[in-house]
Amino acid sequence: MNVHLTATEVLAGVGALVALVMIWRASARTARLAAEAARASVRVVSLAGRIGITAAVIAAVQWVVITHSGNSVVLWAVLGLPDLLAAHSLTRALTVTAVDTPRRRGGRG
């Protein structure tokens, strides 16, 4: 069994294969971008859920201590510790530690 192909038929076959590979790569790139977008939105929802649960636990502990404790030291500790943690987190998040400026050729930024 011999197959005789002309140059035009070979070029058409190679062109079809190249087109198929390009379509496959484009679809893979689109799928990757869609997956990254989905992961980003899940991260936001997950973070919001963890923040909500943590806030609920802190509020529940504070409520129990306020309603059932007669000790003022425990009361101040339970009310003050979450404030200290929140202040620390906000300070770290809002503090600029370095300025990213492009350097000039002279070596001075």
pLDDT of residue 18: 93
Q: How many CA atoms lie within 13 A of 28 on its CB side?
A: 6
d(CA 89, CA 83): 10
pTM above 0.85, yes or no: no
Tokens (6 digits) for 48 = 């919001």
Segment 59-85, tens digit of pLDDT: 888 888 888 878 888 888 888 888 888
Tokens (6 digits) for 43 = 């991260």
Report the share of the chain in percent with pLDDT over 70. Answer: 87
Q: What is the mean pLDDT of the chain?
A: 81
> Concatenated DSSP letters for 72-87?
HHHHHHHHHHHHHHHH
Banded pLDDT at 19 (limits 50, 70, 90):
very high
Segment 23-42, tens digit of pLDDT: 988 888 888 888 887 777 77
Longest distance between any two alpha carbons in the chain, whole Å = 99
Report the 10 Å Cβ neighbour count for 82.
16
d(CA 2, CA 87): 81
For residue 1, the one-letter residue type is M
